[in-house]
Amino acid sequence: MSTTKHVVNASRTVLSDTPSPLAMDPGVFYHLGMLAVEMAAEYLEELPARPVFGPMTPVERERLLNQPLPEHGMSPEAIFDFFEQHILPHAMGNQHPRFAAWVNPAAAPIGMLAEFLAAVMNPSAAGGDHAAIYLEHCTVRWLMELIGFPVEGSTGLLVGGGSVASLYCLAVARQWAANIDGWNVRTEGLQGDHRPLMLYISEEGHSCLRKASQLLGLGEPRRVAVDAQFKLDVPALRAEVRADRKAGLRPFCVVASAGTVNTGAVDPLDALADFCTEEGLWLHVDGAYGAFGILDPNVSHLFTGLSRADSVALDPHKWLATPIECSCAIVREGPLLRETFSLVPPYLQTEPDRGFGGLPWFSEYGFQQTRRFNALKLAWVIQQAGRAGLVDHVSRHNALAQYMAQLIDAAPDMERMAPVELSIVCFRYVPEALQGDDDELSALNHQIMEEIQVGGEAFLNGTMLHGRFVLRSCALHYALTEQDVVAIIEEVRRVGTQCIA
């Protein structure tokens, strides 16, 4: 007996005498923290004068890809050095004001600081009686208020991306439809003898909606035609739904886009809400890119009907400049979200307001158990700007896109390829010699895009509209200026001239 005690005590003495390999002295932490902030501040200050993007050399790629697993630890100084030399210089480019591709804008500096401090606290926002939970409830409500969505009875939670937000909302829609038809999709799956559920998205709907439909066992959704403005065509939708009902299918949900990824078109939300009410369908709005456009008084009328949606996907990591990842799934009939996801094993059971319980846990409203503390960065971005500041932020981008459209419309060698409703401009370079030759113009503009992307002066992406390749510029950077817009167009012209020469 006494021997065992001796052994246990001995091993304890040894363990506590040896610091953990991951421990850090507070003084060292402070010093490294200051170094990190210095490095970040310098980087951000110099960023606008640097190339937007530069491809990595094979050696640089290899260096990151094939690092051997370190057998022994490195000093934090060596780790920092490696970061500064070999990682930081090879950023994606989206922090740069002249990065106008996709929908990956820069993060606001206040959000970067929040990311750091959220990691210092490192809670799991699964649930419990702690600050991260209450802040998430608060920020989700702020998002609802920002887009004019009814707060009472609605529920939402922060998720990793707009794709995940739509996946969650469509899972709730599926649950709702099965409930109405008298079966339980959670327990039965899609194995039973039920009319096949059918989802409707527009031809311009984001690819994540097709992925979500596939993942939920619904197969390919119906791709409804769009009108000349790239908006979902309601008569075409009506015809598809009618034909599907006749064929014995079970239409259950329509997805509208509040800002398509290609052109920024906002589908006719109010008409779609009317249609879904008439037909007993769930209306989901994919507002990942554009729903915050409602804040711009010049275009807010386009969003009439958004507040009538059954669910909405939002992406603060897009137009609200919150560091990636930060998105939100919102469901009008809140309890349905919990019904779709709740599964609480004994080891996680708590009582509301007793012990660690707090409010019902977020992990009952989604798939993830352990969850990031994303609310802090979102709260800080919203707090720094305020509602009025966000109105300014969003309106500025729409105005810059209109400015770009005017410059393109006035240029004899440029052609605008879609209406500009929000902050996306689709256009192409059209030298006189190639006018009317769509195939050549598509090939040329594709080449222009690639040359610009590696050139470092600006960064655009492209997309296909009516079978033609077009350049796509998306104004979302908080520091974008009119001079940047001019510089982007001049770069297209310069590279275009070079390509045809």
Ligand X SMILES: Cc1ncc(COP(=O)(O)O)c(C=O)c1O
Per CB under 6 A, 206 contacts ligand X: yes
- Residue 263 as a binder of ligand X (CB under 6 A): the answer is no
Question: Nearest-CA neighbor of 318 among 331, 310, 309, 327?
Answer: 327
Among 93, 105, 161, 366, binds ligand X (CB under 6 A): 161
Exposure of 485 by Cβ count < 10 A (0-12 exposed, 13-18 middle, 19+ buried)? buried
Scanning 56-64, 86-94, 286-294, 461-469 for contacts with ligand X by CB under 6 A, the matching segment is 286-294
Considering the complex, what minimum distance in angstroms separates the CB of residue 401 from ligand X? 15
Check binding of 108 to ligand X (CB under 6 A). no
277 with 188: CB under 8 angstroms? no
- Measuring CA to CA, which residue among 474, 476, 496, 458 is closest to residue 426? 474
Q: Cα 352–354–356 angle (5° rounding)?
A: 90
* Integer Cα distance of 38 and 30 in angstroms: 12
Asked, as a colleague might, if the bond just before 325 is cis with ω within 30 of 0, I would say: yes
- Minimal distance in Å, beta carbon 310 to ligand X? 17
* DSSP letter (8 states) at residue 258: B
> Based on CB atoms, which residue is closest to ligand X, 103 or 299?
103
Selected range binding ligand X among 55-63, 133-141, 156-164, 244-252, rule: CB under 6 A: 156-164
- The candidate with the shortest Cα–Cα distance to 421, out of 225, 230, 201, 271, is 230
Name the strands in the sheet holding 414-416, side by side, starting at the edge strand that comes first in the sequence: 414-416, 424-429, 468-474, 461-465
**Total of chain residues touching ligand X, rule CB under 6 A:** 15
Cα–Cα dist 425/380, whole Å? 30
Min dist. Cβ of residue 168 to ligand X (A): 12
Kindly tell me which residue out of 103, 224, 321, 470 binds ligand X, with binding defined by CB under 6 A.
103
**Token pair listed for 14:** 């040894």
Q: Is 213 in the site for ligand X (CB under 6 A)?
A: no
405 binds ligand X (CB under 6 A): no
CB of 210 to ligand X, least distance (A): 11
* 133 or 208: CB nearest ligand X: 208
Pick the closer one to ligand X by CB: 125 or 159.
Answer: 159
Give the nearest distance from C-beta 385 to ligand X in angstroms.
Answer: 20
Distance of CA 206 to the CA centre of its chain: 12
Tokens 């002249």 -> residue: 98
162 binding ligand X? (CB under 6 A): yes
Indicate whether 423 belongs to the interface with ligand X (CB under 6 A): no
Site membership for ligand X, residue 261 (CB under 6 A): yes
Which of the ranges 122-130, 158-166, 236-244, 419-427 carries the binding residues for ligand X, by CB under 6 A? 158-166
**Which residues contact residue 349 at a Cβ distance below 8 angstroms, ignoring those fewer than 6 apart?**
none
Task: Note whether 119 and 112 are within 8 A (CB).
Answer: no
Query: Closest distance between ligand X and the C-beta of residue 284, in Å?
Result: 11
Which of 169, 172, 208, 425 binds ligand X (CB under 6 A)? It is: 208
- Cβ proximity to ligand X: between 104 and 402 the closer is 104
- Only one of the segments 174-182, 185-193, 258-266, 476-484 lies at the binding site for ligand X (rule: CB under 6 A); that segment is 258-266
Shortest distance, CB of residue 164 to ligand X, whole angstroms?
Answer: 6
Q: What are phi and psi of 177, to 5 degrees?
A: -65, -40
The binder of ligand X chosen from 139, 202, 213, 257 (CB under 6 A): 257
Question: Counting every residue, how long is the chain?
Answer: 501
Give the dihedral sign, CA 366/368/371/374.
Answer: negative
CB-nearest residue to ligand X: 162
Which residue in 101, 169, 288, 376 binds ligand X (CB under 6 A)? 288
Judged by CB under 6 A, does residue 163 bind ligand X? yes
- C-alpha dist (Å) from residue 159 to 216, 298, 353, 418, 458: 18, 30, 25, 31, 31
Task: Give the interface with ligand X as residue ranges (CB under 6 A).
Answer: 103, 161-163, 206, 208, 257, 259-261, 286, 288-289, 315, 327
